[in-house]
Amino acid sequence: MKFFDRLSNGWQLAKTSLAIIEEEKSLLLFPVLSTLALIMVCATFFGGGYFIFGEELLAAADTAETGSATSPFAYVLAFLYYFVTYFVIIFFNSALVHCAVQVLNGEETSLSAGLEFATSKLDKILAWTSIAATVGLFLKILQSNEKIGQIAAMIIGAGWSILTFFVVPVILYEDKDVIGSVKRSGSIMREKWGESLGANFGFGFINFIGILLIGVLAVVLAQINIILAIIVGIFSLLLLGTVMSAAQTVFLAAIYQHVNNKPTGRFDENVLDDAFMTK
C-alpha cells in the first residue's frame, strides 16, 4: 500500500472512532474518571503523604521525574507512585476497552458495566500494573544515565510499547497470565506487523486541528477577558484530550476484535485489513 493510502486509511479509522464516541458518549466518562483519580492520587501522595514521609517523598518525586535517587527508600516510594498511577490508568482503560467491545458487538453498555468488568479482572490488572510500573521506573532510571542511557531508554521503550500493544485486551479476554499475555500481544504483532503510521497520523492530525482551534479561540477571548480565555482554553484542552484518549482506545478495541475475527461495528473491515501488513 502506498504511503498516502495509509494516511487516508488512518484518517478514516480516526473518524470512525470519533463517530462511535459521538454515538456512545458514556465512553468519555472513563478518561474523565481516570484523570480525576490521578489528581486525587497526586494530591494524596504529595499532599498528605508529605506529613508521613517528609523529605523522602520529595526525593521520591525527584526519582519519578529524573530517574535518580538519593536513597533506596526513595526508589521504593517512586515505585509506589508509579504503581498507583499505572493502576489507575490501566483499570479505567480496561473498563473502557470492555465497553468499546460491547459497542462493537452491537450490545448496550454503561459506565457500571465497564467498572464491574474491570473489577472482575482485578487480579490480572494488578499483576500487569506491577510489571508495567517496574518497566516504567527502570526506563526512567535508564534515562538519567546521560545520552547513552536516554537513547537506550528510547529504543527499549519503543520496543516495549510495540510488544505490549494488545496486552490490555488480551488480559481481559484470554485465559493467560500476564507473561503469557505479553507473549500473546507480541505474537499478534509478529503475525500482522502493525502499520500504525496512518492511524497515528489520523489521530495526530485531528488533535493538531483541535489544539489550533483552541488556540485561536483563546486569543479571541483574551481580547475580552484574559481569565476567561485561560479557563476556556484549559477546559477545551482537557475535553480534547478526553475525546482523543477514548477514541484511540476504541480503535485499539476494534483492531483486537478484527484480528480475532469478531465484530468491529462501524469500522470498515477492508480499512482495518490495511491497518496491518502481513509478514
Instruction: Report the alpha-carbon distance of residue 207 to residue 199 in Å, rounded.
Output: 12
User: Following DSSP, what letter does each residue of 59-111 receive, concatenated?
Assistant: HHHHHHHHS--SSHHHHHHHHHHHHHHHHHHHHHHHHHHHHHHHHHTT----H
Would you say residue 236 has pLDDT above 70? yes
**CB within 8 A of 252, min separation 6: which ones?**
97, 100, 165, 166, 168, 169
Q: For residue 97, which of 247, 277, 200 has the smallest C-alpha distance?
A: 247
Q: pLDDT confidence of 65, banded at 50, 70, 90? A: low
Would you say residue 122 has pLDDT above 50? yes
Would you say residue 171 has pLDDT above 60? yes
- More reliable by pLDDT, 59 or 240: 240
Q: For residue 240, which of 198, 217, 208, 216 has the smallest C-alpha distance?
A: 208
- More reliable by pLDDT, 32 or 274: 32
Q: What value does the mean pLDDT take over residues 133-142?
A: 85
Q: Cα angle vertex 196, ends 191, 201, to 5°?
A: 170
Query: The cell 475535553 sits on which residue?
Result: 239
CB 98 within 8 A of CB 114: yes
For 215-227, write each residue's pLDDT tens digit: 999 999 888 889 9
- More reliable by pLDDT, 118 or 56: 118
Would you say residue 54 has pLDDT above 50? no
Q: How far is CA 133 from CA 125, 139, 233, in A?
A: 12, 10, 32
Which of 9-18, 88-97, 122-131, 228-237 bottoms out in mean pLDDT, i.e. has the lowest?
9-18
How much of the chain exceeds pLDDT 70, in percent?
79
Q: pLDDT confidence of 154, banded at 50, 70, 90? A: confident
Would you say residue 127 has pLDDT above 70? yes
Q: What is the pLDDT of residue 153?
A: 80
C-alpha cell at 270: 477492508
Question: Which letter does DSSP use for residue 159 in this model?
Answer: H
Would you say residue 112 has pLDDT above 90? yes
Q: What is the pLDDT of residue 186?
A: 87
Structural domain that includes position 41: 3-278
Would you say residue 71 has pLDDT above 70? no
Q: What is the pLDDT of residue 101?
A: 95
Question: Which letter does DSSP use for residue 176 in this model?
Answer: -
Count of structural domains within the chain: 1
